[in-house]
Amino acid sequence: MSLLSHALSRIKPSATIAVSQKARDLVAQGRQVIALSSGQPDFDTPEHIKEAARRAMDRGQTKYTAVAGIPELRQAIADKFRRENGLDYAPSQTIVSTGGKQVIANAMLATVNPGDEVLVPAPYWVSYPEMVALCGGTPVYIKTAAADAFKIRPEALEAAITPRTKWFMLNSPSNPSGAAYTEAELKGLAEVLLRHPHVWIFADDIYEHLVYGDFKFVSIARAEPLLQERTLTMNGVSKAYAMTGWRIGYAAGPAALIKAMDTVQGQLTSGPCSIAQWAALAALEGPQDYIRQSRAIFEQRRNLVVSMLNQARGLRCHTPEGAFYVFPSCADLIGKVAPSGRTIATDEDFVSELLEAEGIAVVHGTAFGQGPNFRISYAASTEQLETACEGIQRFCAALRDPS
Ligand SMILES: Cc1ncc(COP(=O)(O)O)c(C=O)c1O
C-alpha cells in the first residue's frame, strides 16, 4: 500500500516558495542574490503591535482560545468591516484563522465536493487551484489579457459558469498581477453573479490597503449588497501590517458557512495562536499610520519598477492598481539565446537564466497560470529594486537571436 494519499497526488508544491528556496540555496553557496520572489512586506511589524503580544504573554494569555477567535478580535473584525468596507457583520459571523491561507482551506474543505467547479481568474495566486484540487474540486480558469489590465470581463465570467460551479474566487488587488477592480467593474461582474444564485463568491481582499493613485478599493459585497448573503469576505493582517509571520487571517460571511468553517478549524488547529490574536487586535484597533506610510513607499517603488522594466529590451510591463507585484510580459524574448548559450523557450527558462546570470530571483508567470510573463515582488528596498532592474535590463540586452 502506498504511503501517500491520492489527495497529495493532486497538488504540487508552491512555485513561489520553491524559487525563494532556490535563491536561499544560491546565497548559501556564496552567490549574491536579490530575491524579488516572496510576497511579504520588507518592513518590520509596528512596535505597538509587538508590544500587545508581549503584554498578552505577560498576562498569561497563552492558552487555547475559542476556535473562531477571541471575542475582542471578532468584535474588532466586525467593526473593521463596517468602518472600512461598509459591510455589516455580527461578530458571530466572523472567524479568525491561522493566516488568510487557512481561511481559504477551511472554506474549501467545508464546501467543496468532488466534481464541484471553482472559478479562478488567471493569473491567480498559486494556492487557490491547489486547495481546490486537494478537496477534490476542479479549478476552472478564466484567462485575462494584459490589454484588459489582467481583469476578467463579465462575458468571460458568464461563459465559465456551469451548474457545477460552487465558488468564484475574486482577488482584488491581485497576486500576481496587482490588478484591482473598480466599483463599476465589480458591478459588471455582480450582474452576472446575480443571474446565477448557486455560485458563491470568495472575496480575497488581503491587499485592500495597497492601492495607488486615486484608486478606491471596494469589496464586492459592498458594490452589490445582494451578493452579501453568498459572499465570504476574507482579509488578514499579513500584508496590511507587515505581520506575515504572525499567521492571522480572518473572514466574515453567512452564519451557516462560518459555523461550518469553525467545525473544520476546531478539528484541524483548535484555533489560531492566542498571542498573535492579541497582536492582531492591536493592529486593527491601534493607530493606522503604518498603512499610509507603507502605501506611499510601495507606490514609489511600483512606479520605479514599471518604468525601469519598460526600458528593458523586449519587456512590456503594465502599471497595476495595487498590491506589491508587477507582472511583465517576456513574450518578445522567447526564442532568444541567453549568455549561457541556452535558448529561452519558456518564461521558466527566462527566470532561471536571469537567476543564473544576474542573481535576481523572480517567479515565472506560468506558475500563476499565465505566461510568458514573470512576477516581481517589489516588497524590497529601493536600492535593491534599482540594482535588480538594472540587472534585468542588462540581461535582456545580452540576449541574442539564435544563429
Ligand atoms: C492573494 C493572497 N491571498 C491570501 C494570502 C494568504 O496570506 P496569509 O496566509 O499570510 O494571511 C496571500 C499570501 O501571499 C495572497 O497573496
Tell me the per-residue pLDDT of 177-201, one tens digit each, with 9 for 90 and over: 999 999 999 999 999 999 999 999 9
Nearest atom, ligand 1, residue 104 CA: 4
User: Within 13 Å and on the Cβ side, how many CA atoms surround 129?
Assistant: 20
Q: Of all protein residues, whose CA lies closest to atom 7 belonging to ligand 1?
A: 100
CA 13 to chain centre: 16
User: What is the best residue among 16, 103, 125 to mutate for testing ligand 1's pocket, by most ligand atoms within 8 Å of CB?
Assistant: 125
3-class SS at 118?
strand
> Which parts of the chain register pLDDT below 50?
none
Find the helix packing angle between 71-85 and 274-285, rounded to 10°. 30
Atom in ligand 1 nearest the alpha carbon of residue 244: 10
Query: Quick one: how far is CA 61 from the chain centroid?
Result: 30
Q: How far is the CA of 309 from the centre of ligand 1 (A)?
A: 25
Q: Report the residue among 106, 232, 235, 239 best suited for mutation to probe ligand 1: largest number of ligand atoms under 8 A from its CB.
A: 239
- Given strand 374-377, what is the order of strands in its sheet? 325-326, 374-377, 363-364
Ligand 1 atom nearest to CA at 174: 1
Which residues have any ligand 1 atom within 6 Å of their CB?
A: 39, 99-101, 125, 171, 175, 204, 206, 236, 238, 244, 249
- What are the grid coordinates assigned to 15, written together? 512555485
Which position has the grid cell 482560545? 65
What is the model's pLDDT at position 321? 97
Q: Whose CA is nearest to atom 16 of ligand 1?
A: 175
Instruction: Tell me, in angstroms, the distance from the centre of ligand 1 to residue 31's CA.
Output: 29
d(CA 158, CA 367): 25
- How much distance in Å is there from the Cα of 206 to the middle of ligand 1? 7
Three cell numbers, residue 99: 493566516
CA of 101 to the centre of ligand 1 (A): 6
For the CA of 171, the nearest atom of ligand 1: 1
* Distance from Cα 357 to the centre of ligand 1, integer Å: 30
Residue 20's pLDDT is 81
3-class DSSP state of 318:
coil
Neighbours of 313 (CB within 10 A): 14
From the CA of 100, how far away is ligand 1's center (Å)?
6
- Strands 138-143 and 374-377 turn out to be unpaired
Output the CA–CA distances (angstroms, integers) from residue 153 to 73, 199, 320, in the order listed: 37, 17, 17
Task: Ligand 1 pocket test: pick from 170, 206, 363 the residue with the most ligand atoms within 8 Å of its Cβ.
Answer: 206
d(CA 203, CA 169): 6
pLDDT tens for 42-63 read 999 999 999 999 999 999 999 9
- Expressed in angstroms and rounded, the spacing between residue 89 Cα and the centre of ligand 1 is 22
291 burial level (CB within 10 Å; 0-12, 13-18, 19+): middle
Please give the distance, rounded to the nearest whole angstrom, from the Cα atom of residue 23 to the centre of ligand 1. Answer: 21
Beta bridge partners of residue 121, listed in sequence order:
142
Atom of ligand 1 at shortest distance to CA of 236?
A: 11
- Hey, which of 101, 108, 232, 269 would you mutate to test ligand 1's pocket, going by the most ligand atoms within 8 Å of its Cβ? 101
| Residues contacting 350, CB < 8 A, separation 6+ | 330, 333, 334, 344, 364, 372, 374
Closest approach atom of ligand 1 to CA 125: 1
**Distance from the alpha carbon of residue 344 to the mean position of ligand 1, in angstroms:** 31
Q: Is 40 helix (H, G, I), strand (E, B) or coil?
A: coil
| Ligand 1, atom 1, residue with closest C-alpha | 175
> Ligand 1: distance of its center to the CA of 238 in Å?
7
